[in-house]
Structure 1
Amino acid sequence: MPKRSYPFSESFSSQYKVHVGQKELNNCGVFGLKYRQEVYEKTKNLLFNGTKAMMGRIWKADAAEKASDARVSDQTAVSAAPGHQTLLKGQTRIGLDGRLQRANAAAGCAAAPSACCVCQRVSGSRKPCSQCERPACAACIQECNICSDRCCSLCAVTDYSERYERVLCCSCSS
């Protein structure tokens, strides 16, 4: 009886060169938990230091504004609550009840350019979106199939789950 043939191809080798990088060491290595903890701590420190630096700038700017407000208050009465910030039109703030409140345009603020909020075209007429109140042109405004509100395509969701597609505003889609 003849010998059995060799079942593997001639190019088969049980020894392959495998690249082991930092990712493989982090996931499967002996010190993987230590490496992941170091990366986590470094990322956390970067985030906290960035926030502290940003808040430091804001606090310095607030202190400078308060000093200038103190000078201005001698000339005019300032009726602003402590910590009150002027908001642009369309911006929201958290009210005392915990809900978002929309702010009117602040007095003395420069008006935003009247370009479409979606396509950024300046030409043509624009209507405010019922969701975000930003101006959108007629090509970018869509009507919700449920509540019939007109909203920009940024605030609209297209639902493809039924036979025909439906446009839904953010409040109706949730």
Structure 2
Amino acid sequence: MEFFGYTMCGPQNYMKDILKKDYFEPMTETEVKELFMKNSMIHSDKDNSRGLNGFAYGSFERFLDMKKKGMVKPFGPCDMYRFPPTSCHEFGWWHYDTVLTGENWYQVVPRDMATKRSNPFVEDFMPQSKVHLGVKQFNNNEERLQKVYEKTLELLFRGAKKSCHDIIRNQENSVTNKKDGMKQLVIGKGGLLVPSEQKIEDKPLDVRHCSCGACEEAICKYCERSLCTSCQHYCCRCHNYHCSKCSLIG
């Protein structure tokens, strides 16, 4: 027999057959014939599942929809597979048949779905919405950006003040000490380079002044003396500045 199929004995119900006390699986053709003669499940003329004379009112899909809506409920676990889910035959459900009206069978009454009751306290509730706040949204907050701006501005002013103090401190302590141990060379007699016995220290990086008291503008090409604009002399041949002591007349 076809499992849960619509066979010559009618729609089979495997679970209902198993629950019988005298149930046994037919193994031979003789046992199948005897079973067919004893327990025939062919529909009668009047059936509350298929209608009058096996005529189906509707389809199997309509029956499933009615079961989902609660209009058709099985009486027990055995009635769950009352209609075999096959694609060969479409089973329907009779609904207010004129011939079956006087029978004492369970009739399906159409039941409308209950409408949802509205909540009268909707206006009292505050609308709530979930918003995901990540690190980017947290950093882009106006208050946080204002704090970052103020902190950055403070660091800039502090760095500017610190650089000014460092420049003044470096001017005061501008004497550099050589750590490589190398000696300075000076021009000796005969124009030769001779290592100096005394260490020549670097002059401090301060503002130089001319002999007249004005600020230095140039240096004499020969004696390297500081010159201001009024004390310097320009040579047209070598295009260099020199002082009055190094100038030769004639």
TM-score scaled to structure 2, two decimals? 0.22
- State the TM-score, normalized to the length of structure 1: 0.29
- Structure number having the greater helix percentage: 1
Q: Give the number of the structure whose residues are more often strand, by fraction.
A: 1
| Rg (Cα) greater in structure | 2
